[in-house]
């Protein structure tokens, strides 16, 4: 826990906790009252005046609440209390004084006690502080008695002390136990409530509270779950609440939820509601970052470098001028580009005088970055399948002054038929966009199961084409980078795994990126190549960039596919027939050929009979005889 978090007030206890605490108090009061009564009886029999002991119970009760919770934290205080009778009177009176000075405060704490239970447990500072003040309080309990302490009642007095002590110790132990096992709250709605919920829109704050509660339960299911409720029930309730609260389709919520732990998933869904910061990339062909920052600051733009992992990125906080129409923008000194879009190019690491292919280039953020890294040498093929989108691609290329680009409008699967033998290929594949929900809300509802079959199908073909377009013998490169702005496993790990299976002549290598989480090597029962941990995942809630995935391959040998003249259509039909074939094996494993089986069964029956010493033909002969 950070220092800051410590000084803050903790979460308020739930209603149940408060209730439990109250009950505990009442019980204790009763008990202590009883014990006092017993004491007073004894003292009567001892011939002592009962005037003082009569007044005592109330006083005892008042001060009881305090030591009780103090005990819970430190039991050794009890021992100190036991020693108290031996303490000399002077010390006691001074303690008494200090008590009075602080009496108001203490009473306040008594009240707070009820609400701040959790806080007090966590806060060490508070405790240690309390300790010093606490001690006089104990002596106060016994103060009346001590004044009249004499040889006659000494024995009785010490016995009472011991009894109290034992009682408190017992309670402290009990309480310690209780604080560990919190009361199991009912967070799931009952059947009647469910019926009501189905009728119309729900109270948003209620849904939110319930989501938080469920996540808390799921984090510690063993201790917090309601009896007789399964984990699935909780998860299902949470999923439908997420759909209700954030507006996801059930299918997508389920898909995204299972990528994370419950609490992380909540963070992810909440991060998707907030827009990512505006970022710009300095065009190093035209200017330097420092000069650009200076020029923009002069125009009233508030900005700051993105992070240590990029030397060209700037984050814009606010601006008095439209950031996409300043003279610097029009002169091509920078381009508006999401921070996550830097990553695949950094991973690609293009070198000067290489030939590079960007398979899905529009609107040109990555292409121009590649061109800038190559300092306008070599050659960059920028391809995009959508003719309308090449317009913005060409505009950006010219505005940023990239002189080494060729823009073409092919289906990217046509490569390497069009031209192969590239040093590096970047495939920023078209995807479902589950990483950029903050940018495009429509993803929440528009994506269906069909998309998660069709899109990966295309991505697999594209990735194979990308691999085939690379020259394995390139002295500097032989690199393929695959990236998507999706976080779904179907579009990332499983596509990469597919490529590794289909093209044994490539291997995964380190991306060379400073940030990012490792890719999954297994997910919900599917197991991928162990090397997939070299790929990188990015989430909105961890790095405040769009959700992203980057994998970097190195081609180590050429393959017959490199010279294949198959175009997009041939590849499509090939992939289709392949998928069908695999589908047959996976779905309905085999059909029974009853005729063939019958002969085999018969022969094995005969063999078994023979082994038992029965002549299989004997039966037949018998039948014949009959």
* Contact call for residues 434 and 331 (beta carbons, < 8 A): no
Which tokens sit at 23?
């009950």
Q: Name the nearest CA neighbour of 31 among 50, 57, 66, 59.
A: 57
Shortest CB 418 distance to another protein, Å: 6
Shortest CB 586 distance to another protein, Å: 38
Report 384-443 residues binding another protein (CB under 8 A). Answer: 387, 390-395, 397-399, 401, 403-410, 418-419
Residue 567 found at the interface with another protein (CB under 8 A): no
Q: Which is nearer to another protein, 381 or 452 (by Cβ)?
A: 381
Q: Which is nearer to another protein, 437 or 466 (by Cβ)?
A: 466
Q: Which is nearer to another protein, 262 or 378 (by Cβ)?
A: 378
**Cα 543 off chain centre by:** 12
Report 15-74 residues binding another protein (CB under 8 A). Answer: none
Shortest CB 341 distance to another protein, Å: 20
Q: Which is nearer to another protein, 277 or 401 (by Cβ)?
A: 401
Report 228-247 residues binding another protein (CB under 8 A). Answer: none
Shortest CB 260 distance to another protein, Å: 40
Shortest CB 292 distance to another protein, Å: 11
Q: Which is nearer to another protein, 362 or 463 (by Cβ)?
A: 362
Residue 157 found at the interface with another protein (CB under 8 A): no
Active-site residue, selected from the candidate residues 243, 402, 431, 485: 485
Residue 295 found at the interface with another protein (CB under 8 A): yes
Shortest CB 330 distance to another protein, Å: 4
Q: Which is nearer to another protein, 339 or 470 (by Cβ)?
A: 470
* Contact call for residues 513 and 537 (beta carbons, < 8 A): no
CA distances from 46 to 39, 43, 49, 144 (A): 10, 5, 9, 17
The residue count for binding another protein (CB under 8 A) is 32
Which tokens sit at 438?
């903050």
Shortest CB 297 distance to another protein, Å: 14
User: What angle separates helix 250-257 from helix 262-271, to the nearest 10 degrees?
Assistant: 120
Q: Which is nearer to another protein, 70 or 328 (by Cβ)?
A: 328
Collapsing DSSP to helix, strand or coil, 484 comes out as strand
Shortest CB 239 distance to another protein, Å: 43
Collapsing DSSP to helix, strand or coil, 299 comes out as coil
* Contact call for residues 546 and 435 (beta carbons, < 8 A): yes
* Contact call for residues 289 and 487 (beta carbons, < 8 A): no
For residue 210, the cross-strand partners are none
Report 453-472 residues binding another protein (CB under 8 A). Answer: none
Q: H/E element holding 275?
A: none
Q: Which is nearer to another protein, 410 or 523 (by Cβ)?
A: 410
Whole-number Å distance between alpha carbons of 439 and 88: 74
Q: Kindly give, in sequence order, each residue whose CB lies less than 8 Å from that of residue 112, ignoring residues fewer than 6 positions away.
A: none
Q: Is the bond preceding 416 in cis, omega lying within 30 degrees of 0?
A: yes
Q: Name the nearest CA neighbour of 519 among 552, 561, 544.
A: 552
Q: Kindly give the pairing relationship between strand 536-538 and strand 355-358.
A: unpaired
485 is catalytic: yes
Binding track over 474-513 against another protein, x by CB under 8 A? ----------------------------------------
**How many helices (H) and strands (E) are present in the chain, helices listed first?**
27, 15
**Cα 139 off chain centre by:** 51
Q: Which segment (379-387, 526-534, 549-557, 583-591) binds another protein by CB under 8 A?
A: 379-387
Shortest CB 384 distance to another protein, Å: 9
The CA angle 383-452-571, to the nearest 5 degrees, is 50
User: What angle separates helix 151-180 from helix 76-83, to the nearest 10 degrees?
Assistant: 170
* Contact call for residues 537 and 549 (beta carbons, < 8 A): yes
Q: Which is nearer to another protein, 247 or 327 (by Cβ)?
A: 327
Shortest CB 567 distance to another protein, Å: 12
Q: Which is nearer to another protein, 21 or 384 (by Cβ)?
A: 384
CA distances from 584 to 162, 578, 581 (A): 80, 10, 5
Q: Name the nearest CA neighbour of 49 among 183, 145, 155.
A: 145
Whole-number Å distance between alpha carbons of 276 and 548: 13
Q: Is the bond preceding 131 in cis, omega lying within 30 degrees of 0?
A: no
CA distances from 459 to 134, 137, 422 (A): 69, 73, 19
Q: Which is nearer to another protein, 142 or 384 (by Cβ)?
A: 384
Whole-number Å distance between alpha carbons of 406 and 599: 67
Shortest CB 331 distance to another protein, Å: 5
**Cα 216 off chain centre by:** 13
Report 316-375 residues binding another protein (CB under 8 A). Answer: 325, 327-328, 330-333, 355
CA distances from 289 to 296, 369, 510 (A): 10, 14, 28
Residues interacting with another protein, by CB under 8 A?
295, 325, 327-328, 330-333, 355, 379, 381, 387, 390-395, 397-399, 401, 403-410, 418-419
Instruction: Just list the catalytic residues.
Output: 485
């Amino acid at each position: 826990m950070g220092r800051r978090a410590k000084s803050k007030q903790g979460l308020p206890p739930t209603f149940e906790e408060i209730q439990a605490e109250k009950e505990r108090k009442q019980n204790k009061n009763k008990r202590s009252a009883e014990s006092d009564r017993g004491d007073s009886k004894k003292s009567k029999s001892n011939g002592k005046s009962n005037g003082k002991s009569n007044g005592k119970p109330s006083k005892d009760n008042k001060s009881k609440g305090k030591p009780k919770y103090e005990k819970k934290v430190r039991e050794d205080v009890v021992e100190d209390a036991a020693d108290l009778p031996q303490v000399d009177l002077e010390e006691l009176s001074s303690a008494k004084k200090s008590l009075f000075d602080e009496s108001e405060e203490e009473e306040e704490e008594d009240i707070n006690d009820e609400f701040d239970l959790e806080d007090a447990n966590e806060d060490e500072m508070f405790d240690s502080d309390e300790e010093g003040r606490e001690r006089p309080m104990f002596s106060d309990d016994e103060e009346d008695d001590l004044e009249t302490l004499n040889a006659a009642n000494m024995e009785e007095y010490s016995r009472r002390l011991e009894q109290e002590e034992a009682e408190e110790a017992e309670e402290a132990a009990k309480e310690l136990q209780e604080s560990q096992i919190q009361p199991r709250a009912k967070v799931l709605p009952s059947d009647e409530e469910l019926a009501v919920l189905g009728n119309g829109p729900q109270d948003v704050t209620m849904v939110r509270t319930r989501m938080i509660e469920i996540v808390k339960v799921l984090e510690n299911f063993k201790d917090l779950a309601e009896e007789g409720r399964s984990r699935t029930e909780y998860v299902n309730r949470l999923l439908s609440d997420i759909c209700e609260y954030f507006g996801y389709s059930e299918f997508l919520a389920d898909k995204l939820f299972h990528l994370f732990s419950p609490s992380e998933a909540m963070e992810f869904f909440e991060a998707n509601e907030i827009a990512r910061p505006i970022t710009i990339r300095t065009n190093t062909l035209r200017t330097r970052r420092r000069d650009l920052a200076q020029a923009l600051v002069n125009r009233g733009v508030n900005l700051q470098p993105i992070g240590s992992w990029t030397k060209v990125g700037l984050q814009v906080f606010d601006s008095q001028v439209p950031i996409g129409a300043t003279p610097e923008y029009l002169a091509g000194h920078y381009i508006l580009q999401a921070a996550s879009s830097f990553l695949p190019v950094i991973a690609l690491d293009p070198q000067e005088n290489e030939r590079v292919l960007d398979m899905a280039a529009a609107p040109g953020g990555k292409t121009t970055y590649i061109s800038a890294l190559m300092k306008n040498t070599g050659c960059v093929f920028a391809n995009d399948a959508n003719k309308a989108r090449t317009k913005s691609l060409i505009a950006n290329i010219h505005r940023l002054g990239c002189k080494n680009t060729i823009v073409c409008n092919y289906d990217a699967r046509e490569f390497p038929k069009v031209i192969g033998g590239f040093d590096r290929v970047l495939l920023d594949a078209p995807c479902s966009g589950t990483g950029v929900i903050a940018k495009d809300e429509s993803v929440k509802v528009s994506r269906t199961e069909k998309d998660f079959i069709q899109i990966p199908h295309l991505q697999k073909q594209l990735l194979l084409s990308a691999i085939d377009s690379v020259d394995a013998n390139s002295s500097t490169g032989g690199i393929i980078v695959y990236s998507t702005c999706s976080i779904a496993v179907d579009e990332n790990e499983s596509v990469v795994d597919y490529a590794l299976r289909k093209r044994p002549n490539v291997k995964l290598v380190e991306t060379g990126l400073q940030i990012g989480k490792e890719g999954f090597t297994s997910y919900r029962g599917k197991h991928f190549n162990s090397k997939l941990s070299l790929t990188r995942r990015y989430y909105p809630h961890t790095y405040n960039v769009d959700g992203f995935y980057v994998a970097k391959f190195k081609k180590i040998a050429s393959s017959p596919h490199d010279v294949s003249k198959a175009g997009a259509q041939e590849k499509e039909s090939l992939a289709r027939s392949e998928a069908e074939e695999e589908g047959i094996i996976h779905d309905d494993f085999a059909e029974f050929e009853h005729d063939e089986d019958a002969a085999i069964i018969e022969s094995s029956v005969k063999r078994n009979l023979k082994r038992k010493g029965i002549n299989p033909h004997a039966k037949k002969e018998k039948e014949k005889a009959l």
